[in-house]
Amino acid sequence: MKTLVIATVVGMVIPGIAAFLLWYERRLLARLQVRMGPNRVGPQGLWQSLADIIKLLSKEDTVPAGVNPWLFKLAPVMAFLPVFMAFAALPELDPKLNIGILYLTAVLSLSALSFLAAGMGSHSKYALLGGFRATAQMVSYEVPLTLALLGPAMAAGSLNLNVMAWWQQHHLPYILTQPLGAIGFFVAAMAEAHRPPFDLAEAESELVAGYHVEYSGVRFALFVVSEYAHLLLLCWLMAVIYLGGGPAWLVALKIMAMVSVIIWLRATMPRIRADQLMALGWKVLIPLTSLNLLWIAAWNL
């Protein structure tokens, strides 16, 4: 019973925070670009995200002719579920999940399927190309992401994120003791979340909207919410695993700081090309995170 209540609360609150992040991104990005961002709908435009979501939910559920109905309909769900499931590993929500890191990597890899399904299921060459790029990207960056997560796990001696947070509060935050791992995690997580500069799968100026070009209404809303939830997740993970966690308000502050940096990068950096992305993942991040792991291992001796 209790878990059902918690699940419902989490299921409602996380999308709410995602909507808030959507508003925050639009305002911050606008300010960095000499514009205002939404400021009419509600105080400071705060209801804008809600209005947009309501609009999306009230649209006709179009399923284009020629699509593979199974893949097409499954894709948004496959994007949504793994991200939300991943939140269970966070110490603020379940401090006793002893398989924390293992659970995280397992669940997050599932979200790669959504791009494949969306790309192949949509009856569009643009979507196909976008789907290929996205899937390759996800798969390539799994490895450095996992390696980067293993560093803190080894240092704390546990897969449980709560233990890692606790360890950092009694010693030093891992970002200081494992800088390579921190950078590796940050970059890999951004690539996993398709954040600019790693957003080539949805490259607006090239493939219009890439793998989710044929989606509208509720299905599209699911993609959007899961994208921002994923952003929240990775900032939260960064805050807990590398920045040290702490009381809820401190974690929230750290999360907002990370989010702001990520938005700043979006405003500043051009898009990286597909093959350069691969090269970065395989030839730079894997050595970097592996080195980090060796460093921790040596240090632990």
Partner 1 sequence: MIAERDSITQEELVLNLGPQHPSTHGVFRMVLDLRGETIVGVTPHMGYLHRGFEKLAERRTAVQYQPYPDRWDYLAAMFDEMAYIGAGEALIGIEVPPRAEWLRGIVMELNRLSSHLLWLGTFLLDVGALSPFLYTFREREMILDLLMELTGARLTYSYLRFGGLAHDAEDLWLKKVKAGVRYFRRRFREYRDLIDENEIFRRRVQNIGVIDRDRAIRYGLSGPMARASGVAWDLRRGRPYGIYRQVEVPVITREKGDTWSRYEVRMDEMEASLGLLDVFLDSVEAGPVMAKVPKNIKFPDGETYFSVEGPRGELGVYLVGDGTAHAKRMKIRPPSLFNLQALSHLLVGHMVSDAVAILGSVDIVLGEVDR
Binding site for partner 1 (CB under 8 A): 29, 32-35, 125-126, 129, 196-197, 199-200, 203-206, 208, 266-276
Cβ of residue 145: shortest distance to partner 1, in angstroms? Answer: 20
User: What gap in Å lies between CA 165 and CA 223, rounded to an integer?
Assistant: 30
Task: CB nearer to partner 1: give 208 or 294.
Answer: 208
User: What gap in Å lies between CA 19 and CA 138, rounded to an integer?
Assistant: 24
Long-range contacts of 267-271 (CB under 8 A, 24+ apart): 267/28, 267/29, 267/32, 267/33, 268/32, 269/196, 269/197, 270/197, 271/196, 271/197, 271/199, 271/200, 271/203
Task: CB nearer to partner 1: give 64 or 95.
Answer: 64
Task: CB nearer to partner 1: give 59 or 273.
Answer: 273
Cβ of residue 135: shortest distance to partner 1, in angstroms? Answer: 14
Cβ of residue 76: shortest distance to partner 1, in angstroms? Answer: 24
Task: CB nearer to partner 1: give 115 or 167.
Answer: 115
Cβ of residue 137: shortest distance to partner 1, in angstroms? Answer: 13
Task: CB nearer to partner 1: give 126 or 228.
Answer: 126
Cβ of residue 256: shortest distance to partner 1, in angstroms? Answer: 21
Cβ of residue 187: shortest distance to partner 1, in angstroms? Answer: 12
Task: CB nearer to partner 1: give 129 or 221.
Answer: 129
C-alpha 106: how far from chain center: 15
